[in-house]
Structure 1
Amino acid sequence: MRTIRNHVARLVTVMAVLLGGMAVAAAQAQAAPQPLFGNLAICGNSPIPSGYVVTNEQSSNSCGGYLEYQLTQVTTQTSLSVCGNSPLPNGWVITDAHSYNTCGGYLQYFLAKVTTQTSLMVCGNSPLPSGWVITDEHPYNTCGGKLQYFLAKVTTQTSLMVCGNSPIPDGWVVVNEQPYNTCGGYQQYSLAKVTTQTSLMVCGNSPIPAGWVVVSQRPYNTCGGYQQYSIQKVA
């Protein structure tokens, strides 16, 4: 009888351990954070998960006075419509902006993904992709009061005409400046790519390439009020 009682006691102990382990595993599984995919509805005071954009905003009884945001995950799309307070994904540009009833008072932005294009038309408040320059600026009815920018991708060119508020690519210098009607009040810059030259004449507001020095300067009519610099490459 004692042997039977010992076996029963061991069996009860084993079952208790097994049940306890299952309960712990279930609790851990329940507590583990789950990945987010697809569309989401969150309260307006919530952080927005990485990789999501705000596509709609509406009143909600369950957000404590905040609007409810409808989110969409950015995956394989090449165009998106988002609210003006949405995060903008890297590598996307704003092509239009319109009034929209369900963006909480913000404009609705039309976005395009930068892929194989070599020219783009974007709104003036759009992020500018790396390696692109602004070549023209015009008034545009659907950019929310901003100008529309014409962009060109820098590829194999050795000279460029850009607006004065354009990024200047690495390895390029400003060699001339002149007034231009379609640069939104900025001067137009003539840029040259630094390749095999050992000396250059540049405007005083030009970047000076690494390894180059200014050896002289003089007044110059077409440098937008800046001096013209003579620069040389250090051997």
Structure 2
Amino acid sequence: MKKILGYSVIAFAIGSQFTKTINADENYLYEELSPINEEGLLPLNDDQTEVYNAIVSQSMRICKNQRVPKGWVITGEASGASCSGRFPNMWIIKKPSTSDSICKISPFPDGYVITAEGSSASCPHQFPNVWKIKKPRQSESICKVSKLPKNYIITSESSSASCPHQFPNVWKIKTPRSTDTMCSISPLPEGYVITGRGSSASCPGRFPNTTKIKKL
């Protein structure tokens, strides 16, 4: 009876130690697999950004009867015997870099604006058949044909021969400060309220044609 009891105590002790070892190993494993804490990390420097843009600028060809993958743009057309249909029967596609040129027939990527139009023999249809696009900075000039980015405001209008349609054909946009003034034609950004009205010859429409806004 004493022997059995002794064996039980030893087995319990070994089992407890074994469990502790496994738990310790598991904790170590979870630490290894825990996601990186990005707080305080620095952005890419200029050289790294150039390398990144070179990587994402690599293009590929797909048959025209295929859907362009989300986030990719059309930069030209080509011909290939591996695809059906009349030549040119292929799209040249890529993921857009910070600033790029795409065929007007291309799906438009999220988070980009149109800054000009151009022409390219690589794209279908009559000239001008190309959009010049970019990711907007804190303040930017965009063609009026472009969609206004979320939480940007219109501060004035101007003219440019690089954009389509009649003058004035350009919006000057920016990310709003805590208190700011925008053209009344501009959508109210999220988290802001209207505090007053004003007038400016730089904005379209009859006076008063500006709106004073404040962040809540």
Tell me the TM-score range normalised by the shorter chain.
0.5 to 0.7
Q: Pairwise CA RMSD of aligned residues?
A: 2.7
Give the conservation status (yes or no) of the 8 Å contact 1:173–1:194: no
Change (3 A) 1:47 1:148: same
1:186 and 1:96 map into 2 onto residues whose CA distance is 28
Is 1:154 matched up with 2:180? Answer: no
Shift of 1:127: 2.3
Tell me the residue number matched to 1:118: 138
1:43 to 63, 79, 82: 63
How do 1:202-217 and structure 2 match up within 5 A?
Answer: none
Shift of 1:49: 0.7
Is 1:78 matched up with 2:98? Answer: yes
Tell me the residue number matched to 2:194: 173
Change (3 A) 1:52 1:159: closer
1:49 and 1:113 map into 2 onto residues whose CA distance is 19
* One-letter amino acid of the structure 2 residue matched with residue 95 of structure 1: T
SS in structure 2 opposite 1:86? coil
Is 1:53 matched up with 2:83? Answer: no
1:107 to 129, 138, 145: 129
1:69 and 1:148 map into 2 onto residues whose CA distance is 30
- Deviating beyond 6 angstroms after TM superposition, the runs of 4 or more aligned structure 1 residues are none
Change (3 A) 1:172 1:52: same
2:64 and 2:202 map into 1 onto residues whose CA distance is 40
Q: Percent identity?
A: 27
1:100 and 1:185 map into 2 onto residues whose CA distance is 36
* One-letter amino acid of the structure 2 residue matched with residue 49 of structure 1: P
Shift of 1:133: 0.5
1:44 and 1:69 map into 2 onto residues whose CA distance is 6
Q: Deviations over 1:110-161 (max 9, x none)?
A: 11123xx3210111122222111011112211112261110111133x131x
Give the conservation status (yes or no) of the 8 Å contact 2:71–2:110: no
Is 1:68 matched up with 2:90? Answer: yes
Change (3 A) 1:181 1:121: same
Give the TM-score normalised by structure 1: 0.56
Give the TM-score normalised by structure 2: 0.60
* One-letter amino acid of the structure 1 residue matched with residue 91 of structure 2: Y
Change (3 A) 1:49 1:186: farther
Count of residue pairs brought into register by the alignment: 152
Is 1:189 matched up with 2:210? Answer: yes
Q: Deviations over 1:88-107 (max 9, x none)?
A: 22221111111333221162
Give the conservation status (yes or no) of the 8 Å contact 2:77–2:123: yes
Is 1:88 matched up with 2:104? Answer: no
2:70 and 2:153 map into 1 onto residues whose CA distance is 28
Please identify which structure carries the higher helix content: 2
Name structure 2 gaps, 5 residues minimum.
1-56
Please identify which structure carries the higher strand content: 1
1:186 and 1:38 map into 2 onto residues whose CA distance is 48
Give the conservation status (yes or no) of the 8 Å contact 1:92–1:113: yes
Shift of 1:52: 1.0
Is 1:139 matched up with 2:192? Answer: no
Change (3 A) 1:73 1:186: farther
